[in-house]
Amino acid sequence: MSSGPSSSWIVPFSLGIATTLVVSWTCSQASKRSQHQSNSKQSSSIATSPSASPTPEIKDGEELMDKPDLEQRMLRKAEAVIQWRTTRLVLVIERCTNDHNYSAILRTAEALGIQHVYMIDPPEIDDEGFESQAKKTQQQQITRTPQEIEARRLHHLFARNAQEWLDVKDYATAEDCVAELRKQGYQLWVTDLSQEAVSLGMDSPLMPKKVALVMGTDQADLRVYLPLRGFADSLNLSVATALILHQLFVMDPTLVGGITEEEKLELREEWYTKLCQQRLLTASQKKLRLKLQTKLKKCQALLDGSKQSGRPLDAREQERIGQMEKHRKQLGEIEALLDPAKVKAAIQEWVNNPPKPLTDVRRADSHRICYVGKNTRKFHEDHWKDMVATSDASTIPGATANEFRNQLPANPGQQRIDFEIEEKKI
């Protein structure tokens, strides 16, 4: 009997706690949404604010370096790369069986300004960025540690990023590739370690108008080698490719920019469109897009597995399948923002009248950010204290993205969508 009065405080106390938690959570969400909207307005105003000082007129021959407040900085960088590209020199790689070499070669070729890379019997890379096991024997199918798997994933990520800006063609046989090169008027310079090969040194042969550097194959107009000065008489394939490509540019500096105006226009239309599409979506939209793509892929795999095995779907699986139409609709709304035809029409003015290119494509210090965890940064605090990449220099968030977003007409079919609420339901 005496316990009744003493416990009467429990119910109102519990209700008080629950009410406090609900109010606290509501205020927190409201604060986050307000901050999100404030940041969006701030980044948008950076690109459109009339008070922002425009980039002064750039005279011919004047040095133009990258900097955070430079107008159209990504287009200027792309235009610089286009002006330096060459199609006079083609790289040919035959039967590169090591996927690390494959990745490194593509990245090196792109960085040096090569536009066309021909691959003879290349390694098969699966959707996750790893070399296909189909071509490998049982002895070659080795078990890798998680660290090795992550390193390989990053390696292929770098290669895919480089391949975005390359024209890579695959050929099943060397005969097919050589026939295409002959048709296009290229002379074949094939690397060779024999004593009959011509040294690419001080007394190098004159470069032809169009040359294909071939790492492999027996068919050659000229056999060449890079002189070495040590006991090692050969190099790793990707290292040898990088050194020889660089040497060819030294031998003939006119290779830089060895591209026709028609080819420049084609690259400009392709690259400007790609740069715009990559920056139209906000971070939350990109995250939601990936979630939707992943869920649809898993649902399709579930349906295919059920069909092949004859196993009926359980209630939970059927519920997931039932969400596919909703996911497709949401994904379609996001993809509509990236419609290539609309994007091309929006950026056509830039294609026809490209901005002055950068004279040097090195990043500004404020963009050389080291993306590492706070614990790693703290661990290396003393060693990294004077490094630009860890100085957290100020940047202008969203400035480049909003230049592209503001270029598209603001009609209902192209307005950006805020998927933040829908994302929580996924």
pLDDT digits (tens, 9 = 90+) for 46-69: 344 333 445 556 666 688 999 888
| Residue % of the chain over a pLDDT of 70 | 68
Q: How far apart are CA 108 and CA 5, in angstroms?
A: 80
Q: Which residue has the higher pLDDT, 14 or 377?
A: 377
Q: How confident is the model at residue 263 (pLDDT cuts 50, 70, 90)?
A: very high
Q: How far apart are CA 164 and CA 374, in angstroms?
A: 31
Residue 77 pLDDT greater than 70, yes or no: yes
Instruction: Go through the chain and tell me how many residues it has.
Output: 426
What pLDDT is attached to residue 75? 95
What pLDDT is attached to residue 133? 44
Q: Of the ranges 82-86, 142-146, 367-371, which is most confident?
A: 82-86
Tens digit of each residue's pLDDT (9 = 90 or more) over 371-384 = 667 788 788 878 77
CB count within 10 Å of CB 217 equals 20
Query: What backbone torsions phi and psi does residue 206 show, to the nearest 5 degrees?
Result: -70, 140
Residue 38 pLDDT greater than 90, yes or no: no
What pLDDT is attached to residue 332? 94
**Token pair recorded at residue 191:** 């690397």
Residue 409 pLDDT greater than 80, yes or no: no
Q: Which residue has the higher pLDDT, 72 or 9?
A: 72
Q: How confident is the model at residue 33 (pLDDT cuts 50, 70, 90)?
A: low
- What value does the mean pLDDT take over residues 101-130? 80
Averaged pLDDT of the chain: 79
The C-alpha angle with vertex 341 and arms to 157 and 158, in degrees rounded to 5, equals 10
Residue 23 pLDDT greater than 80, yes or no: no
Q: How confident is the model at residue 169 (pLDDT cuts 50, 70, 90)?
A: very high
What pLDDT is attached to residue 14? 65
Tens digit of each residue's pLDDT (9 = 90 or more) over 317-371 = 999 999 999 999 999 999 998 998 989 999 999 999 999 999 999 988 777 776 6
Q: How confident is the model at residue 125 (pLDDT cuts 50, 70, 90)?
A: low
Position 48: which residue type?
Answer: T
User: SS3 for 47?
Assistant: helix
Contact 109, 238 (CB under 8 A): no
What pLDDT is attached to residue 205? 82
What pLDDT is attached to residue 150? 59
Model confidence, pTM? 0.73
What pLDDT is attached to residue 17? 65
Q: How confident is the model at residue 422 (pLDDT cuts 50, 70, 90)?
A: very low
- What value does the mean pLDDT take over residues 206-224? 89
Q: How many Å from the N-terminal Cα to the C-terminal Cα in the chain?
A: 51
In the sheet with 211-215, reading across from the earlier edge strand, the strands are 167-171, 116-120, 89-94, 211-215, 187-191, 222-225, 198-199
User: SS3 for 332?
Assistant: helix
